[in-house]
Amino acid sequence: MTKAIKAGGAYNENAAWCNAKLAEMLLSEGAVLPAENILKDAAKVAPNDYHILAAMGRVKTALGKYPEAITLYQKAVAVAPEHTGLVALGDLYRATGQKAKAEETYGLVEKLHEEHKKYGSADELYMARFFAEHDRQLPRALAIAEMHKDAKNAVAADTVAWCYYKSNKLPEAKAAITRALTAAEPDAPALYHAGMIAARLGTRPAAQKYLYQAMSRDPHFSLLDAPIAAETLKTLGSSRPTTPLGGVAAVGQTR
């Protein structure tokens, strides 16, 4: 990634994108301050770049600086009203008690999706995940999941699993999340989903393990879901994983 940044030359759009992605990689590992330092330098040269603004918004969210995060995401979606930025902004409004603004912003996410459909943009799984994560249009999320129920891609299988979970289809959720965990090294959201599915299935050791791994990898993985993961883990009783982070077992099983 560093080579790609240097290859981008004097701060053009490609270099800004690479810096933002590098920061996001660090954030996904819980390295908030190193990510912030990269973005501060990048913002000196590309202060109005969507990717830099959105990534810095994620940093400020992780640091609990919600007003600053909201301002950054507002600027980002003003530059480019993209799915990820709008969802993050809506979540911040929701977390700060601004329910009307949250609902308005979530509505923009849905409107954006409908606009994309007119031009044949295939983002159904993005919307299914959005619906499942925000308890919106769950029958529609389930219908999309059913169309992708055999997905082997890690992110797609994780999304399918969460849609099944939210519709209380636990055997299907277990099968999908197991595929997600074995398709690639799982990120914190996938581990969280695995933990919550295991908890609902009553397999406490697996639930403890996956939730512990999720919070260890990135305690700020989701503004809305990380607190649920922490509270659920507290209720279950914290348990260190018995396998390395990358060595996952099937949901409902322990090694």
> Contact 214/30 with Cβ under 8 angstroms?
no
Average pLDDT, the chain: 90
| Residue-number span of the structural domain to which 40 is assigned | 1-94
* Mean pLDDT confidence for 201-210: 97
pLDDT in tens, 93-147: 999 999 999 999 999 999 999 988 888 766 899 999 999 999 999 999 999 999 9
Count structural domains, the chain: 1
Whether residue 8 is contained in a domain is answered as yes
Whether residue 148 is contained in a domain is answered as no
Whether residue 227 is contained in a domain is answered as no
* Mean pLDDT confidence for 8-35: 85
| Alpha carbons 141 and 164: distance in angstroms, whole number | 9
Whether residue 66 is contained in a domain is answered as yes
Segments in the chain forming alpha helices (H): 2-7, 13-28, 32-45, 50-62, 66-79, 83-95, 99-118, 124-133, 138-147, 154-166, 170-183, 188-201, 204-217, 226-236
Whether residue 51 is contained in a domain is answered as yes
- Indicate which CATH number applies to the domain containing 38: 1.25.40.10
